[in-house]
Amino acid sequence: MTVSIVGIGLIGGSMALSLKESGFTDIVVGVDKQMEHVVKALELALVDKVLLLDDAIQQADLIILATPVDSLTTLLPYVLDRVQNQVVIDVGSTKHPIVESVKNHPKRGRFVATHPMAGTEYSGPEAAIRGLFENKFTVLCDTDESDADAVDLVRRMYRAMQMTITEYDSVSHDVHTAYISHISHICSFALALTVLDKEREENRIFELASTGFASTVRLAKSSPETWIPIFRQNQDNILDVLDEYINTLLKFKGLMLSDSYEKFENYLGKASEIRRILK
Amino acid sequence: MTVSIVGIGLIGGSMALSLKESGFTDIVVGVDKQMEHVVKALELALVDKVLLLDDAIQQADLIILATPVDSLTTLLPYVLDRVQNQVVIDVGSTKHPIVESVKNHPKRGRFVATHPMAGTEYSGPEAAIRGLFENKFTVLCDTDESDADAVDLVRRMYRAMQMTITEYDSVSHDVHTAYISHISHICSFALALTVLDKEREENRIFELASTGFASTVRLAKSSPETWIPIFRQNQDNILDVLDEYINTLLKFKGLMLSDSYEKFENYLGKASEIRRILK
């Protein structure tokens, strides 16, 4: 089995490691627009060889598109135009706009929309790590639009990566990820910017930053180049969550201003429900 | 040296472990209003014995007040009324209201206001852990109001706990902690409540929650009983930060609504400055 991975960054690179190590694939071909990524991916032995996109499509049984989501809506139709019987997947953090971009494509059946739910705040090939996906969830979307053999191959791939497979329609996927992934990045970016802004007046402001602050603001280290396209593609859902989040903060503010600390305490008590989810 | 610790929870209990282990103290006396805490602290051997407050004051060389900050403004004057030459410290997350509560007390010199910057999202004596304070910062506030020998003893204590000591005036301390500690808790509580609220419509909402979400929302597991008094005592500073944070979020929203994604990307790029602080 030959797998071509287009975009050898954190996700593409970590998948390369995982697919090779599990024996799912014999050869991993890398494709990347950025010369530094290509050089680094070869140096780190994330890929066996590097090809131009058209050749990488022809030589592969499975093509994984791991580029930023804004590029996928043009890259995916381009790749599907060039496949015969190969299977193509994407691993983007949004799903509906990507699925829509090939809705009426004659080769739609060869495409499976996926989203392995794993990552770190780092990016690029040097961010690729072993075991990133183990025991995490991966989502397959709108699988009734894909050929059965294609879905089957992708399922086998994610099982080899030791992931738990779950299915969503692409619209629900985008609502859910807005709530449990995209908004977390918004919160962290905003918190980092707020405190960095204060640093201009109070130059010792970070001296006392402890592990709680570090945890809340960790995602602000993420790459804007990855996240801006996600915010753009999932704008409507993210704006909904953002409005609800701001309303919650305004409710906190109102409770404080009206000195309603008993009510505030009861309200915060409900947040402890989160212990059910976070072990 | 005998140390009495009033309030044997996460912080008091972890200090007990650290002070005993470092050899700074021979005997740790525990005081707690809650019977379950007393029983648990003895069972876990966090303390050598348990006494009522007045006796614990008399028998100690150093008295550590580790109760929620709302109780400190009455507990601290009560304790100072009863000391001869003992040293008293608090370890609360706010400083100015606590210092104010004993401003004109005849024994003010025996008190040193401190804040060891360490914690976890857990609470109670079973949350006490070894090494919680090692290599963290601790703050001493308004030390010119304290007797030199008292400050000296407290410095020796924190050095025994392997903490780096820094000094602030209590007003600055409260501004800084609003930005790098208190607001993080506000963000996390609000995010948890926002997503939990959505769960009523979308019951699989947490299925896809990954490590990024867990990190941002971790502090929402903290005890409202600890944090509500902090929010109340530091209300003015926290409202300032909260306003700035909400403004940043509204700026994000405006950039999205006006499709200004290039500007948005430049803005988020500034957040990467946070890498300087978070290694």
Are A242 and B220 a contacting pair at CB < 8 A? no
Residues of chain B with Cβ-Cβ distance to A243 below 8 Å are 253
Are B137 and A248 a contacting pair at CB < 8 A? no
Domain spanning A2-168, CATH architecture: 3-Layer(aba) Sandwich (3.40)
Query: What is the mean pLDDT of the segment spanning B206-227?
Result: 92
pLDDT tens digit string along B116-132?
999 999 999 999 999 99
The reported pLDDT for the residue numbered B279 is 66
pLDDT reading at B143 higher than 90: yes
Query: What is the mean pLDDT of the segment spanning B156-160?
Result: 98
Residues of chain A with Cβ-Cβ distance to B246 below 8 Å are 246, 249-250, 253
A181 closest CB neighbour out of B213, B225, B275: B213
pLDDT tens digit string along A234-247?
999 999 999 999 99
- Substitution target in B120, B122, B208 with the highest count of A β-carbons within 10 Å is B208
B52 to chain A, any CB pair closer than 8 A? The answer is no
The reported pLDDT for the residue numbered A41 is 97
Domain spanning B173-276, CATH architecture: Orthogonal Bundle (1.10)
Please give the full DSSP string across chain A, using - where no structure is assigned: -EEEEE--SHHHHHHHHHHHHTTS-SEEEEE-S-HHHHHHHHHTTS-SEE--HHHHHHH-SEEEE-S-HHHHHHHHHHHHHT-SS-EEEE--S--HHHHHTTTT-TTGGGEEEEEE----S--SGGG--TTSSTT-EEEEE-GGGS-HHHHHHHHHHHHHTTPEEEEE-HHHHHHHHIIIIIHHHHHHHHHHHHHHHHTTT-TTTTTT--HHHHHHHGGGGS-HHHHHHHHHHTHHHHHHHHHHHHHHHHHHHHHHHTT-HHHHHHHHHHHGGGGGT--
pLDDT reading at B204 higher than 90: no
Question: Residue B277: which pLDDT band, with cuts at 50, 70 and 90?
Answer: confident
A263 to chain B, any CB pair closer than 8 A? The answer is no
The reported pLDDT for the residue numbered A279 is 66
The reported pLDDT for the residue numbered B210 is 82
The reported pLDDT for the residue numbered A80 is 98
Q: Where in chain A is the domain with CATH 1.10.3660.10?
A: 173-276
pLDDT tens digit string along A175-227?
999 999 999 999 999 999 999 999 888 888 888 888 889 999 999 999 999 99
The reported pLDDT for the residue numbered A105 is 98
The reported pLDDT for the residue numbered B205 is 86
Residues of chain A with Cβ-Cβ distance to B186 below 8 Å are 249, 252
Distance from CA of B50 to the nearest CA of A (A): 30
B245 closest CB neighbour out of A194, A264, A267: A194
Query: What is the mean pLDDT of the segment spanning A137-163?
Result: 98
B221 to chain A, any CB pair closer than 8 A? The answer is yes
Q: Where in chain A is the domain with CATH 3.40.50.720?
A: 2-168
A216 closest CB neighbour out of B118, B175, B219: B219
Look at the pTM and tell me if it is higher than 0.90: yes
Q: Where in chain B is the domain with CATH 3.40.50.720?
A: 2-169
Are A195 and B186 a contacting pair at CB < 8 A? no
B193 to chain A, any CB pair closer than 8 A? The answer is yes
Q: What is the mean pLDDT of chain B?
A: 96
Quickly name the fold that domain B2-169 has.
Rossmann fold (3.40.50)
Query: What is the mean pLDDT of the segment spanning B220-224?
Result: 95
Are A261 and B188 a contacting pair at CB < 8 A? no
Q: What is the mean pLDDT of chain A?
A: 96
Are B239 and A246 a contacting pair at CB < 8 A? no
The reported pLDDT for the residue numbered A203 is 82
Query: What is the mean pLDDT of the segment spanning B82-109?
Result: 98
